[in-house]
Structure 1
Amino acid sequence: MPDAPQAAPFRPETAILSLGDDFYDPVKAADFPQTILRFRNQRAAETVGLGDLDEAAWLRHFGRFEALPGSLEQPLALRYHGHQFRNYNPDIGDGRGFLFAQLRDADGRLLDLGTKGSGQTPYSRFGDGRLTLKGGVREVLATEMLEALGVNTSRTFSLIETGETLERNDEPSPTRSAVLVRLNHGHIRIGTFQRLAFFQQEDELRRLTDYCLIELYGDQPGEDGPGRLLDHVVSGTARLAASYMAAGFVHGVLNSDNINVTAESFDYGPWRFAKTWDPRFTAAYFDQQGLYAFGRQAEAILWDVYQLAGTLALISPVEPLQAAVDAFPARFEAAMRAAILGRLGVKPKSEEDDLALMGVLESALMRGGVEIDRFFFDWAGGRRRGASPADYSGEAFAGLEQALAGYEPSHPLDHPYWGDAVPCSMHIEEVEAIWARIAEADDWSAFEAKVAAIRRMGEAMRG
């Protein structure tokens, strides 16, 4: 996405209402003691016609949730189920968020503005429906970094501190509270389909399938609609899994209620960027079996896609569904080649050459112990550039230059970023240091500088 997008008109939408009352519950946002703007994604706001809002209007809409003109009159908590660490849970749904508004981008694609930390809903169970400010800061950093690295992600649209103190078991408490708004092309999850299958609601499954085809994929409904929808999801999720790997990213909680049928990554909790290429690296302290480890993310996402196929089997012959999921491994392999070559900044060659390079590169990263970000920075364009503290003289990297022979840069490397001494990274130590300055001194300078640095890296990577 360009850093200075052309301003687009505001185009409000209410497409979700066509699904009917069985898909959501009208709710109200919490009445927060304060609304202090901490992050405003002006770049994203310009693309949807909301860039001209002054701060007072921004706070009313994204802190007090005054309806946007022409969009939803009342927030909607969406209903869904899901497998959480492979255990089916029928007692979930939007428990601390809701769909606040819908709108269309300049290309006419549907977009959702959804919340996190906006208060309790019928699905909050025993939760307070709130978000910690630290959690909000972490989500901004995750989405900005992933967007810059080319991952299909939700964008954090707004982060507002809300003046409450929260108690949490997994971080120092009391801690500050916030409400976050995210922008993406849909909040329909695999778990949304699972809920309908759980209740054997075949008519509603067909209605949701048609909605997703029309509104989320610009496709047409029909008898073969379930198979075509699954095929779209397989292609998108294969690319998502591959882009996680190329980014060195571990989502941490790839449950079926966290996999969007638009294949946009979203809902960031215990995420991490791996320092080195370690397939066993996990992001969540509670993932003791490594179910969602770095190297198992494609497996985890495919497992979730199988759950979607199972729900669609209620309204579709099995053969096209099986064909769609069977295509995942090949599409993932192709997406991995594209994602790695894209991060390396080189044009593809033959499939044989690309596969050989992939094998050499992955082996070198695993055996050589060089940081992922450092490696792709040093070898951008397919040639080792400049001085680097990393040692590429060992046996692990012996065949790398030969494997890269003949590869051409995919874009110029004349951006000043490529002359920096260190690459832009987002490891847990820096995240904690950024938060510490906010928590201890209300100092947002490191956070703001990091967002600017990430966007600068994104410009360089786009050429």
Structure 2
Amino acid sequence: MAHTFRPDRAFPALGAEFADPVDPADFPHIQQRFWNERWASEVGLAGLGRDEKIEHFARFAPLPGWTDPPLAMRYHGHQFRQYNPQIGDGRGFLYAQMRDPAGRLLDFGTKGSGQTPWSRSGDGRLTLKGAVREILAAQMLEALGVYTSKAFAVFETGDKLHRHDEPSPARGAVLTRLQHSHVRFGTFQRQAYAQNTGNLTALVDHCIAAYYPALEDRTGEERPLALLGEIVGASARLAGEWMAAGFVHGVLNTDNLNVTGESFDYGPWRFLPYFEPGFTAAYFDEHGLYAFARQPEAVFWALQQLGAALSLIVPGEKLVEVLNTFPEHYRLSAGTAFTRRLGIRHTEESSQDDLIRAALTFLKDSRAPWEAFFFDHFAKRDMEAPDERRALYAGETYDAFRTAFDTFEAERPERLSHPYFRRENPVHMTIEQMEASFAPIHEKDDWSAFHTLLGDIAEARAGYDLGAGRTGFLPEETA
């Protein structure tokens, strides 16, 4: 381990009511498929050799300073708005915690690492395709400026898995993700369900100490209220970033939203091919509850359930006041996210609300490719789109968009000198692109298309440079 690896044991200090010790699965054949060298360097693990990577991220031998064994976290959750008290980490666990370069707490969490007390009838495993999908979602979202977990490591396991939504037997894999927190809204709901006000208060104190230390001087009722206010703001920011990225998470249950407002747990995700408000990601979302345009509503509803859990220790009317700040937080966050994606900044005459309204109206009417629209207009560059795309940029709704767009100034237009902007078409991550990258892996164990796509995403990340002004994961304004 490098000297920059700084282990921490903040979550285990909460006690046995919050997690169960578990043993990792014993996999028959382990082969490294993905290693995030960039983020390994950030946390002081870049020097691990091949055998050490296998030992720590496939067999899950304890990292220095951590507990043995790992911890399957306990939580409840509303799943498609139906309360379920029978869930928790069913195929993953909290493997380790450490501090990032800015001193903030980070988690290693797993997916596909074996059965736990919360697996119910599941096998606790992850398919290789599921792992590849998680890598691609996290990498693409990071490139587009979304506050997201990072896919850190993936190892193929040699398991042969049977799934109803993939050709079986499917190849097995285990994934480790890196993110600031795995404390979910459902973590609070579990304690509220048990009427355990002492544990609720302890959880509030943990989240303040671990993630929002600026609130440490708050006392009494002000502590949970201030914490909820931070979570509302962070969740609104995330919803705005998803919308600007054209991303549909697919399963916005209260166990898939966390206290730091970062996107994680990528199952049936999709990116929009073009603007369609009712676009859904999950085949089982039969009523479009988590459709693209309903995501802000879904996040707000989940926040209300978090507020309901906190009502055991804070008067409800005070919680409602905090929750009602969400719409304005979201409006401002969406404006920031859309202008960041377009590479522009305010002038005295510009209006983010007018810009978003005009852009979405045009995108809906024209059915222009979502990602290409942002690529073609980024930092107000001269249009270099192919003829078939340029032909879309005309007409009344486009003129209305240009009127709003032209009131803004380009933000860091020097980014346009990056080679990424000499491409004819942008990198995108529609379902067709994802499937095309996995098909050669499935058919002949050929990973070249996948690695090419990862290289393209890295080029997009460097070109857009939407992380400028960020320390680690978090936007400058919340760092």
TM-score (normalizing by structure 2): 0.93
Distance 2:349 2:298 in 1: 26
Q: CA deviation at 1:383?
A: 4.5
With over 3 angstroms needed to count, the CA separation of the structure-2 counterparts of 1:321 and 1:351, relative to structure 1, is farther
Query: Aligned AA for 2:427?
Result: C
Query: What is the identity, as a one-letter code, of the residue corresponding to 2:209?
Result: I
**Matched position secondary structure for 2:255:** helix
2-structure distance, mates of 1:256, 1:448 = 33
Partner of 2:472: none
Q: Aligned ranges for residues 363-382 of structure 1 at < 5 Å?
A: 363-382=361-380
Any residues of structure 2 matched to 1:32-47 within 5 Å, and which? 32-47=27-42
User: Partner residue of 2:26?
Assistant: 31
Counterpart of 2:477 in structure 1 is: none
**Per-residue deviation, 1:17:** 1.7
Deviation at 1:56, TM superposition (A): 0.8
State the shift of 1:362 in Å: 1.4
- Counterpart of 2:178 in structure 1 is 183
Please state if 1:430 is matched with 2:425.
no
Give CA-to-partner distance per residue, 1:329-350, whole Å, 9 cap, x none: 0010000110000000001234
Q: Superposed, which structure 2 residues align to 1:202-351 within 5 Å?
A: 202-218=197-213, 219-220=215-216, 222-223=219-220, 224-350=222-348
Secondary structure of 1:177's counterpart equals: strand
Structure 1 counterpart of 2:463:
460
In percent, how many aligned pairs have the same letter? 50
After superposition, give the CA deviation of every residue in 1:412-432 in whole Å (9 maximum; x if it has no partner): 211111110101100101111
Q: Does the Cα contact within 8 Å between 1:8 and 1:48 map onto a contact in 2?
A: no
* Structure 2 unaligned residues grouped into runs of 5+: 467-479
Question: Equivalents in 2 of 1:205, 1:351: separation in Å?
Answer: 47
**1:351 shift after superposition:** 7.9
Conserved 8 A contact 2:7-2:65: yes
CA contact (8 A) 2:143 2:460 kept: yes
SS in 2 for 1:121: coil
Conservation of the 8 A alpha-carbon contact between 1:47 and 1:105: yes
Change over 3 Å in CA distance of 1:336–1:15 after alignment to 2: same
Letter of the structure 1 residue corresponding to residue 334 of structure 2: M
Q: Which residue matches 1:446?
A: 449
- From 131, 136, 143, the equivalent of 1:141 is 136
Q: What's 1:113 paired with?
A: 108
1: distance between equivalents of 2:381 and 2:293?
26
Aligned to 2:166: 171
Spell out, residue by residue over 1:409-458, the C-alpha distance to the aligned partner (whole angstroms, 9 max, x if none).
Answer: 11121111111010110010111111110011101111111111101101
Secondary structure in 2 matching 1:29: coil
What is the alpha-carbon distance in structure 2 between the residues aligned to residue 352 and residue 343 of structure 1?
A: 16
Q: Please state how far the C-alpha of 1:38 moved relative to its aligned partner.
A: 0.2
Alignment of 1:382-397 (within 5 A): 382-388=380-386, 389-390=388-389, 391-397=392-398
CA distance in 2, matches of 1:263, 1:53: 30
Q: Distance in 2 between matches of 1:400 and 1:112?
A: 42
| In structure 2, C-alpha distance between the alignment counterparts of 1:73 and 1:12, rounded to whole Å | 14
**AA partner of residue 316 (structure 1):** V
> Do 1:244 and 1:250's aligned partners in 2 also have CA atoms closer than 8 Å?
yes
Residue matched to 1:52? 47
Work out whether residues 72 and 102 of structure 1, in 8 Å CA contact, stay in contact via their aligned partners in 2.
no
| Structure 1 segments of 4+ aligned residues over 4 angstroms from their partners | none
Distance 2:352 2:257 in 1: 29
**Paired position in structure 1 for 2:352:** 354
Instruction: Give the CA deviation at 1:396.
Output: 2.6
In 1, distance between residues paired with 2:3 and 2:263? 24
Tell me the equivalent position of 1:198.
Answer: 193
Q: State the Cα distance separating 1:318 from its structure 2 match.
A: 2.4
Amino acid at match of 2:271: F
CA contact under 8 A between 1:281 and 1:294: conserved in structure 2? yes
Q: Deviations over 1:274-324 (max 9, x none)?
A: 111111000001101000000000000100000000011101122331121
Amino acid at match of 1:360: A
TM-score, normalised via structure 1 length:
0.97
CA contact (8 A) 1:34 1:161 kept: yes
What letter is aligned with 1:333? R
User: What is the RMSD of the two structures over their aligned residues, measured on CA atoms?
Assistant: 1.3
CA distance in 2, matches of 1:350, 1:200: 52
Partners of 2:67 and 2:382 in 1: how far apart? Answer: 53
Does 1:91 pair with 2:86?
Answer: yes
Q: Which amino acid aligns with 1:408?
A: E
SS at match of 1:398: helix
**Any idea what the Cα deviations from partners look like across 1:79-121, whole Å, max 9, x if unmatched?**
0000000000000000000000011111110000000000000
Structure 2 SS opposite 1:258: coil
Report the equivalent of 1:3: none
Aligned to 2:34, what secondary structure does the other structure show? strand
Q: Secondary structure at the match of 2:346?
A: coil
Task: Name 2:410's counterpart in structure 1.
Answer: 409
Following the alignment from structure 2 to structure 1, what is the Cα–Cα distance between the partners of residues 146 and 233?
A: 14
The answer to which of 345-354 and 330-339 deviates more is 345-354
1:55 offset after TM fit, Å?
Answer: 1.1
Is the contact made by 2:344 and 2:408 (CA closer than 8 Å) also made in structure 1? yes
Aligned-pair CA distance for 1:354: 2.3
Q: Give distance in 2, aligned partners of 1:423 and 1:185.
A: 30
The 1:8/1:404 distance shift into structure 2, 3 A limit, reads farther
Alpha-carbon distance in structure 1 between the residues aligned to 2:288 and 2:126: 26
Structure 1 residue 35: Cα displacement: 1.2
Moved more, 54-63 or 405-414: 405-414
The CA deviation at 1:352 is: 5.8
Q: Partner amino acid for 1:185?
A: H
Please report how far the alpha carbon of residue 356 of structure 1 lies from its aligned counterpart in structure 2 after TM superposition.
Answer: 1.8
